[in-house]
Structure 1
Amino acid sequence: MRQSLYQFISKIRTLLSDKFQQYDAKLPYLLTVLIALIVVIVGVNAFIELTDTLESEMLNKWDTAVTDYVISFRTPALTKYFMFVTDVGDLYGYLVVMGLFVCISYFVFKRWKYVAQTALVLLLAAISNVILKRFIDRARPSIEHLVSVETLSYPSGHAMSAMAFYGFLIYLFTQFKMNRILKVVAILFFAFLLLSIGISRIYLGVHFPSDIAGGFIAGLIWVIFCILLFNVIELFQRDPRTK
């Protein structure tokens, strides 16, 4: 990612050099951030398109069919598992996981920036989720809820936060220099946990499948934007021409 960004910024710098004799060395980075914002806008448009179809008959049928299929697997053992998983995707679950990540960052990677970046992505997702829920104002499913809920339904806060948090961790682990087997195991574990959190909300009867899809899309938007932004900032700080 960083190498690709560097090449992209270099191309912008070359283009500016061909067009202008003098230009601000910071301009290629500003243009790259602008393009990152355009990526976010495109993602938001996809999110809005999904939101506009919430009341459609086709989506309602899809929500009902998927929900009926998922809850048909309800068993005492599976219910305990999904209750545990949904707790992992809640506030206290993230505090525990973040605590473990802090220890790993301190003792293994010895870099605090990864913790700060992950916390920022999660915070942005959480704040924007509250705003989106109030703006869209979709009620919860009317089927039996196996856990108590108090907020609105769309987009799923659990799915959005899980995608932002574990999605960004997946990206970080792809960048870490570590044992390849451990890296693959960690990435698969985060991906499985991310999907489990989303499915748990349908299984427990507190979200429509489209709530989960919307949450995943919105969370992914933040992941992509933050990855681009963090890498641009790091390249900017390393570039002697911007000093």
Structure 2
Amino acid sequence: MLFKGTHFSNPTRVSIILIVAGFLLIGGGFFFVASLGEDVLEQEKFAADRIVSDFVSTINPPWMAETMGYITEAGSVWFLTLLSVIVVAYLLFVSGKSKWVPLFFAVNMLGISGLTKGLKLLFERQRPEVIQAYDGVGYSFPSGHSTGAIAFYGFMIYLTAVSHMKKGTRWLIGIVLGLFGLSVAVSRIFVGVHYFTDVAAGIALGTAWLIVSIAALEIMLFRKRKRARKTEESATS
């Protein structure tokens, strides 16, 4: 089996700290998106967008723009949908894991897609530039590639972290996946279809929803293990 029966056992100081930190990240992420969204609704101009746009224009030669164009595809709907189907199939038919794992992975991906689309329709922010080749159509805030990439690659980091792989390997894969997910988000600025604040909001929203999904999964797995222990104790008593 690739995955081990991890996760949180009885509450400890470390797990309590992680829980508190998780709630802070969730609340902070949604609050950040809401704060930016309020200004977007009022059609405010962000100094950060101008500063980042000017900076990118100075370090974005044709070869880098082309490279970012390839990277940005790793956050496209078709690509993440294909990968998600493969992951669900693996979790259901190969890994031997609890049904809750593929279920909450699906909740993670479908939920972030619905949230992103709903917020886009709510804020109706126009893009800095419409480029159909890079999925640069529709509304701009928050960045869908950013939310999707953070949710998907972040869940892959979680699956790696709870696997039987060696600690060094888990760290290496986790760092690579994290950097790649962030690169997908940043690529949206380089290809010119999103503002910096679109991407920042996308990263915040994707991270918050990812934590919600993983936390809900861990709670269900904890309850399942607890029931299994009670059943085992009853059988042996």
Q: TM-score, normalised by structure 1?
A: 0.75
Per-residue CA deviation, residues 28-49 of structure 1 (Å, 9 max, x unaligned), is xxxxxxxx88975564233212
Q: Does 1:82 align with 2:86?
A: no
2:174 and 2:121 map into 1 onto residues whose CA distance is 33
SS in 2 for 1:151: coil
Work out which of the residue numbers 139, 157, 160 in structure 1 matches 2:126: 139
Q: What is the aligned partner in structure 2 of residue 120 from structure 1? A: 107
Measured on the aligned residues, the alpha-carbon RMSD in Å equals 3.2
Q: Does 1:188 align with 2:188?
A: no
Per-residue CA deviation, residues 171-216 of structure 1 (Å, 9 max, x unaligned), is 2211212123322221122112111111110001100000001011
The alignment of Structure 1 onto Structure 2 pairs a total of residues equal to 215
The runs of 5 or more residues in structure 1 that have no matched partner are: 9-35
Work out which of the residue numbers 44, 47, 63 in structure 2 matches 1:61: 47
Q: What is the aligned partner in structure 2 of residue 7 from structure 1? A: 11
- Note closer, same or farther for the CA distance 1:107–1:230 as it changes in structure 2 (3 Å cut): closer
Q: Does 1:47 align with 2:36?
A: no
Work out which of the residue numbers 130, 155, 179 in structure 2 matches 1:168: 155
- Note closer, same or farther for the CA distance 1:204–1:39 as it changes in structure 2 (3 Å cut): closer
Q: How does 1:90-239 map to 2 (within 5 A)?
A: 90-98=76-84, 101=87, 105=91, 109-111=95-97, 113-142=100-129, 147-239=134-226
The structure with the largest alpha-carbon Rg is: 1
TM-fit CA distance, 1:229: 0.8
1:121 and 1:77 map into 2 onto residues whose CA distance is 34
Per-residue CA deviation, residues 134-176 of structure 1 (Å, 9 max, x unaligned), is 0111111148887352210000000011111111211221121
Q: What is the aligned partner in structure 2 of residue 11 from structure 1? A: none
2:135 and 2:225 map into 1 onto residues whose CA distance is 49
- Note closer, same or farther for the CA distance 1:237–1:192 as it changes in structure 2 (3 Å cut): same
SS in 1 for 2:134: coil
1:104 and 1:186 map into 2 onto residues whose CA distance is 18
TM-fit CA distance, 1:237: 1.9
- Note closer, same or farther for the CA distance 1:238–1:180 as it changes in structure 2 (3 Å cut): closer
TM-fit CA distance, 1:86: 1.1
SS in 1 for 2:217: helix
TM-fit CA distance, 1:121: 0.5
Q: TM-score, normalised by structure 2?
A: 0.76
Q: How does 1:19-38 map to 2 (within 5 A)?
A: none
2:130 and 2:88 map into 1 onto residues whose CA distance is 39
My pick for the range that moved more, 145-154 or 76-85, is: 145-154
TM-fit CA distance, 1:96: 4.1
1:122 and 1:174 map into 2 onto residues whose CA distance is 19
TM-fit CA distance, 1:222: 0.9
TM-fit CA distance, 1:127: 0.8
Contact kept, 8 Å, 1:71 with 1:202, in 2: the verdict is: no
Contact kept, 8 Å, 1:39 with 1:225, in 2: the verdict is: no
